[in-house]
Amino acid sequence: MIGIDEPDLVLFQQELTHALSSEASPEQIIETLEKNPELKSFRNYISTFDVDMVHVANELVHKWGKH
């Protein structure tokens, strides 16, 4: 088996891409992630997110993301 599955980071990436795939505003995306109890260990990191950069990430996921 290859890969190191790190449960917290796995969850963070899942919740981040899920939030960025939504139609929510960048402010709502940050708030949703900050309030997610499962992302407690990432709360400080999320609280530093720049709303303009979250908007860019949101656009990138909508433009290039494929399920």
> Which parts of this chain interact with another protein (CB under 8 A)?
2-6, 8-10, 12-18, 20-21, 26, 42, 45, 48-57, 59-61, 63-67
Q: Which CB, 3 or 37, lies closer to another protein? A: 3
In this structure, what token pair is assigned to residue 51? 């709303």
To another protein, the closest distance from the beta carbon of 36 in angstroms equals 13
The CA–CA distances, whole Å, from 46 to 1, 3, 25, 37 equal 32, 25, 15, 13
Q: Which CB, 35 or 65, lies closer to another protein? A: 65
How many residues does this entry show for the chain? Answer: 67
